[in-house]
Amino acid sequence: MSYLTSLLNSDHEKAGFSCGNYMLDNYLQKQARQDMKRKLTACFILSDEERIKGYYTLSSASIQRSQLPESIIKKLPPSYNDLPVTLLGRLAVDIKFKGQGVGKLLLIDALKRSFETSITSIALMAIVVDPINSEAISFYSKYGFISLPDSGRMFIAMNTVAQLF
Ligand SMILES: CC(C)(COP(=O)(O)OP(=O)(O)OC[C@H]1O[C@@H](n2cnc3c(N)ncnc32)[C@H](O)[C@@H]1OP(=O)(O)O)[C@@H](O)C(=O)NCCC(=O)NCCS
């Protein structure tokens, strides 16, 4: 599969990135490279020659079966309590590029990377996100993510993602 993004590296001009959310800007500018060195997350960048248009981060994570909707739990063997998932921890688009489809491209790219991993090397039964606000919840809902009760997280099953690719 081919991807639109590349891993964040020291050549990327992070300083000017502004998505309108201080925490997401600050994360890219100050912490993302450190987290990558520590193997805590992978940060992927969509950019043109000069500017970062947007970014997202992926990590592996697990969710407990009790967090899932009953319709999914009943299809899982009882011995699996912690279920392997991808965490799409952050996703942000620079305000200069908002409303031009960049967020959608980033999300599809992230789903594709996770789906490819799940069919070639490491089993992942879903992708989860931690939406930062109600705007983010509506964005992810649009693409089929469902809210998980009690955790604030949202979820899309890998079998659903598979239908996209
Ligand atoms: C939310 C965000 C990622 C959207 O990026 P974007 O590039 O402006 O979105 P796109 O242009 O790709 O829009 C894709 C689709 O999502 C819709 N959309 C965009 N923002 C939306 C929102 N807040 N709520 C609901 N739908 C939204 C668009 O209308 C579009 O729909 P269409 O394809 O039917 O026209 C961007 O506004 C952002 O970075 N916000 C700040 C950070 C943030 O909230 N990150 C998300 C979670 S951590």
Give the per-residue pLDDT at 116. 97
Overall average pLDDT of the 135-157 stretch: 93
| Phi, psi angle pair for 5, to nearest 5° | -110, 165
| Phi, psi angle pair for 115, to nearest 5° | -60, -45
Give me ligand 1 centre to Cα 82, in Å: 31
The whole-angstrom separation of Cα 40 and Cα 42 is 7
Q: Is the pLDDT of residue 14 over 90?
A: yes
- CB-defined site of ligand 1, < 6 Å: 19-21, 24, 90-93, 98-104, 131-132, 135-136, 138-139, 142
What pTM does this model have? 0.95
pLDDT by residue (tens digit) across 85-129? 999 999 999 999 999 999 999 999 999 999 999 999 999 999 999
Per domain, the residue ranges of the chain are 6-162
Which of 55, 57, 135, when mutated, tests ligand 1's pocket best, judged by the most ligand atoms within 8 Å of its CB?
Answer: 135
Task: Classify domain 6-162 at the CATH topology level.
Answer: Aminopeptidase (3.40.630)
Per-residue pLDDT band at 49 (split at 50, 70, 90): confident
Which helix (H) or strand (E) segment is 53 a member of?
Answer: strand 52-64
From the CA of 105, give the closest atom in ligand 1.
12
